[in-house]
Structure 1
Amino acid sequence: MSRRLLLLATGGTIAGQASDPTRLNDYTAGAMAGDALLAAVPQLQDLATISVEQVANVDSADLLFEHWRALVARIRAAFAADPELAGVVITHGTNTLEETAWLLELLIDDLRPVVLVGAMRPATALSADGPLNLFQAVQVALSREARGHGALVVMDGQIHAAQRVTKMATQGVRAFASPGSGSLGWVDDVGVHLPMASGSRRVPFAELALPEQWPKVPIVYGCVEPESLMLQACLNASAMGVVFTGTGAGQLSAAERSVLQAWPGKRPLMLRANRCGSGPVHHHYEDERLGLLPAGNLSPQKARVLLLLALIAGLSRGELAAMISATPLIATP
């Protein structure tokens, strides 16, 4: 009996079309439906029986919280309804692929693989990378080795963990990497090369129901002489959370610290990440006084995902701090 797989399509460059096969930058993302992507790789029929559902068909820069809600709901329902379903593959634009992967890592509690895949070249391009990426993502989703690893990203033959992976370049098929740790493994025509998952995986928001309206959580970027009005505007707008993309190891400027110290109202839940691209943000002696928490090894965009879910779950600063320190992938070394 053929194995069953669910393919959820959301658009992106992998579904993009251009007017000429030599155009790599001027194209329309999300121009092809998921069933067309599947039909373009007939070799997939030899691997599994794949059902396709279109969740969205957008550039991933235009992805919305409602799309995240739909993805989570559909994956949870599919796994609950079909014990024989081998896994889920999600075609996705590369611009925010890492955020969706991290969201699913924190929400989907199942040993079966959830694999996200995209492309750096549109489907109409010479040497388009999407078809092979999709084939390899299906290979991974069907593999015994991928079970228990949580949400995975497959790009250019590399298999990445959701927490570490990031888009490192604007062009080129090797645009994705996992700074500080490297990829988990790789996939080729021989098979899937992954270590077996080591025991149970902690899914902190496995039971969380996602609302229609999500909290406001801006990201404030650190730089030379930052405009303190940006942070002031966030506080004035009653943002429930703030993520700082701090300089160095997540440092705020004196001006930003002054704004926080002078704020008379209740401070939002706030995380400090860094703009360096890799490396941890450790605890600082001023964190308690200013209401801050270090984001550990999370990038600013992934710290925002964590903060969004923490706010939806109603966590206090102390509860979020305990969660960060109890989760090895998030916690600082």
Structure 2
Amino acid sequence: MGEPAVQRPALLLLSTGGTIAGSGATSTQVNTYAAGALSGDALLAAVPELQQLATIRVEAIASVDSADLQFAHWRLLVARIREAFQTQPDLAGVVITHGTNTLEETAWLLQLLIDDPRPVVLVGAMRPATALSADGPLNLYQAVEVAIDPQARGRGVLAVLDGEIHGARAVTKVATQGVGAFRSTGAGPLGWVDDAGVHWPAAAGAPMVPFAALPLSSMWPQVAILHGCVEPPAALIPALLQAGVQGLVFTGTGAGQLSAVERTAIDQWNGPLPLMLRANRCGSGPVHRCADHARLGLLPAGTLSPQKARVLLLLALIAGYTRADLEGELQRLGLMAV
């Protein structure tokens, strides 16, 4: 009698494009290439070792540079992951191939929306698939290793790049070049992957999923990010408010400080104010309460980057949050002191 067939874990791989699927004219081009040129099936075929790890179903969500990702793509991702987890009890997890430019935003969005202990793992690359020493194939292999690892359950949405496992809340891109371009600011990676397997130095702590039941419509609110600097344009905030933006994220200087120009523009506005969050432009460190900013209706974003603060604000607006609701959510998420 022959040996019994090995039952491999079932995985869903959702492709969205990005550098990991990029193609350049020559193997030495690492900065000039077409992002999203290769299909998810082509990425899978380039790493035949994956067949020994899992049975992988590939589906395409998009084939774009992640800078061109749209809300419609986010809706498709959320809907497909929710459906897969609801209808496939034997599914071990989901892997998403993604461009690195906005990978952290998609990861955080999914963290706030997907309520299932099974892992959702985002993976990208800093070099196109056609480049010498392309990092995408190994990143993809290690992402699958993480997705099928039983200890990955209950850790929320993850990102795997350059042998490191990052959580959705802390991960951010910190460099324009080089394969080690991602960090978890203020926290460090959750674990790592190497020849010996997947390593988790700490026990899992299930993250909160405040918008698990939130339906996503085709129309999303308008939320702008403003970057703090010396003497910002005085007309910018009134123009945005007159245009009817529903949310503003201020990338303040220092610990989320707004300039007198920005504070005056908010103070002098006669209409209803949008929901507003204060982040910082430093790259790490928290933004805390400030009585002067609170008087103007601004809430601190804690340790969230401006782009992740915007994601939170988008979902809060879709959910119909008031400022008081948003303040309570920030406290529940541990981003704001009670």
Q: TM-score, normalised by structure 1?
A: 0.98
Once the two structures are superposed, residues 294-333 of structure 1 have per-residue CA deviations (whole angstroms, 9 ceiling, x without a partner) of 00000000000000000000000001001101112x3369
Q: Which amino acid is 2:176 matched to?
A: T
Work out which of the residue numbers 316, 319, 330 in structure 1 matches 2:322: 316
Q: Do the aligned residues in 2 keep the contact of 1:250 with 1:281 (CA within 8 Å)?
A: yes
Aligned to 1:73: 79
Alignment of 1:277-292 (within 5 A): 277-292=283-298
Aligned to 2:301: 295
Aligned to 2:140: 134
Q: TM-score, normalised by structure 2?
A: 0.97
Once the two structures are superposed, residues 121-156 of structure 1 have per-residue CA deviations (whole angstroms, 9 ceiling, x without a partner) of 000000000000000000000001111010000000
Q: Which amino acid is 1:256 matched to?
A: E
Once the two structures are superposed, residues 261-316 of structure 1 have per-residue CA deviations (whole angstroms, 9 ceiling, x without a partner) of 00000000000000000000000011332111000000000000000000000000
Could you tell me how far apart the structure 2 residues matched to 1:84 and 1:286 are?
A: 52
Work out which of the residue numbers 21, 27, 46 in structure 2 matches 1:21: 27
Q: Which amino acid is 2:167 matched to?
A: A
Matched, 1:84 2:84: no
Report percent identity of matched pairs: 66
Q: Which amino acid is 1:281 matched to?
A: V
Structure 1 spans left out of the alignment, 5+ residues: none
Name whichever of 221-230 and 266-275 sits farther off.
221-230
Question: How far off is 1:228 after superposition?
Answer: 1.9
Q: Do the aligned residues in 1 keep the contact of 2:289 with 2:336 (CA within 8 Å)?
A: no
2:96 partner SS = strand
Could you tell me how far apart the structure 2 residues matched to 1:154 and 1:53 are?
A: 20
Q: CA 1:57–1:332 in 2, change beyond 3 Å: closer, same or farther?
A: farther
Alignment of 1:34-49 (within 5 A): 34-49=40-55
Aligned to 1:331: 336
Matched, 1:204 2:216: no
2:81 partner SS = helix
Matched, 1:221 2:227: yes
Q: Which amino acid is 1:102 matched to?
A: W
Could you tell me how far apart the structure 2 residues matched to 1:332 and 1:135 are?
A: 40
Q: What is the number of residues matched between the two proteins?
A: 331
Aligned to 2:131: 125
Question: How far off is 1:231 after superposition?
Answer: 1.1
Q: Which amino acid is 2:120 matched to?
A: V
Q: Which amino acid is 1:262 matched to?
A: Q
Q: Which amino acid is 1:172 matched to?
A: G
Q: Do the aligned residues in 2 keep the contact of 1:271 with 1:295 (CA within 8 Å)?
A: yes
Q: Which amino acid is 1:119 matched to?
A: A
Aligned to 1:237: 243
Q: Do the aligned residues in 2 keep the contact of 1:217 with 1:240 (CA within 8 Å)?
A: yes
Once the two structures are superposed, residues 16-35 of structure 1 have per-residue CA deviations (whole angstroms, 9 ceiling, x without a partner) of 00000000101000000000
Once the two structures are superposed, residues 156-207 of structure 1 have per-residue CA deviations (whole angstroms, 9 ceiling, x without a partner) of 0000000000000000000000111111110112111113313x43210000
2:42 partner SS = helix
Q: Which amino acid is 2:317 matched to?
A: L
Structure 2 spans left out of the alignment, 5+ residues: 1-6
Work out which of the residue numbers 12, 16, 19 in structure 1 matches 2:18: 12
Could you tell me how far apart the structure 2 residues matched to 1:256 and 1:191 are?
A: 50
Q: Do the aligned residues in 2 keep the contact of 1:281 with 1:332 (CA within 8 Å)?
A: no
Q: Do the aligned residues in 2 keep the contact of 1:146 with 1:196 (CA within 8 Å)?
A: no
